Amino acid sequence: MSGAAVATAVTTGQVLARRRNYARHYGGFILPAAVVIVAVILFPWLFTLYMSAHDWKVGGGHSFVGFGNYAKLFTDERFLWSVVRTLYFTSLAVVFPMILGVAAALCFQKKFPLRGLARTVFILPMMATPVAVALVWTMMFHPQLGVLNWLLSTVGLPPSLWVYESSTVIPTLVIVEVWHWTPLVMLIVLGGLASLPQDPYEAAKIDGATSWQAFRHITLPLLMPFIVVALIIRTIDALKAFDTIYVITQGGPGTSSETINIFLYLQGFAYYNMGYASAVVVVFFTLIVALAMVLLWTRARAKDAM
């Protein structure tokens, strides 16, 4: 055996011995975290999968149905409409906060008197809990006593039924989401603006570029990774929206605002169909993971393009 081969074998043996020594001495520190992960994350998911394969009633027996609950889901018109409403709500609740948040970040980046106070006031909605926000907006949406219809009357516009009308309930709920979460998008984008280099702007100014050209060809491309991060957070958060919708409408009027989360809650805790509700959880989780993977791929592409 050559000297190089002997040295390689000795080095490999030392590495293996070091790993065994590490596992023997430090494995005890890892064990509590591993137990917590299994108990808090892995076991609930495995049990959810188990329940989704059964016709499981709270307070009653359960029987194995295999993929029966999943097959029922894709023929359940109420569930399919809840998916449509979720996508509709999510698309509106993502697009408008993204546009307004980027615009607000560009405004707050500029220096003007009382800028710090204006920033503080702008992010205040984000500090409130969703339930408190929902209760306040519920009073404002009241057809007779709400302040919003009073404001409409002062400018000569007819009153609206807001969340009490099937055709306007989803857009009205989106108004609450936009007011509540636009500040989050603004903060993310504002942080990105603060980290941008100034050299490209100085070169563009020397070349005679306008403000729009500088934004279009410098600011927007450099800011895209931050915008995509805000997009990912906002999309997942909008998909999971439950508190605001449930407190304001409980899925009504009728089922006009019944998103997947409301449908899931009703199946599990109103109708006690835990097996069917577990199947909804699995399908919904798969949808969120697939969408998150697409958004993360988009973010990677945006970083590569820089």
- Kindly state the average pLDDT of the residues 169-198: 93
Is residue 7 pLDDT above 50, yes or no?
A: no
pLDDT category of residue 96 using cuts at 50, 70 and 90: very high
Summary mean pLDDT of the chain: 87
Across residues 11-34, what is the average pLDDT? 68
Given a cut of 90, is residue 177 above it in pLDDT?
Answer: yes
Interior CA angle at 130 toward 41 and 144, to 5°? 145
Percent of the chain with pLDDT over 90: 51
The superfamily (CATH) of domain 71-304 is MetI-like (1.10.3720.10)
Q: How confident is the model at residue 203, as a pLDDT?
A: 86
Question: 213 pLDDT exceeds 80?
Answer: yes
The whole-number pLDDT of residue 6 equals 41
Q: Where are the domains of the chain?
A: 3-52, 71-304
* 179-191 mean pLDDT: 94
Give this prediction's pTM: 0.85
Q: Give pLDDT, residue 292.
A: 81
SS (H, E, C) the chain: CCHHHHHHHHHHHHHHHHHHHHHHHHHHHHHHHHHHHHHHHHHHHHHHHHHHCEEEECCCCEEECCCHHHHHHCCCHHHHHHHHHHHHHHHHHHHHHHHHHHHHHHHHHCCCCCHHHHHHHHHHHHHCCHHHHHHHHHHHCCCCCCHHHHHHHHCCCCCCCHHHCCCCHHHHHHHHHHHHHHHHHHHHHHHHHHCCCCHHHHHHHHCCCCHHHHHHHHHHHHHHHHHHHHHHHHHHHHHCCCHHHHHHCCCCCCCCCCCHHHHHHHHHHCCCEHHHHHHHHHHHHHHHHHHHHHHHHHHHHHHHCC
Question: Who has greater pLDDT, 8 or 84?
Answer: 84
pLDDT tier, 17 (very low <50, low <70, confident <90, very high otherwise): low
Please tell me whether the peptide bond between 221 and the residue prior to it is cis, using omega within 30 degrees of 0.
no
Q: How far apart are CA 295 and CA 230, in angstroms?
A: 10
Least confident of 3-7, 33-37, 69-73: 3-7
Question: Which residues are bridge partners to 54 per DSSP?
Answer: 64
pLDDT-derived band at 58 (thresholds 50, 70, 90) equals confident
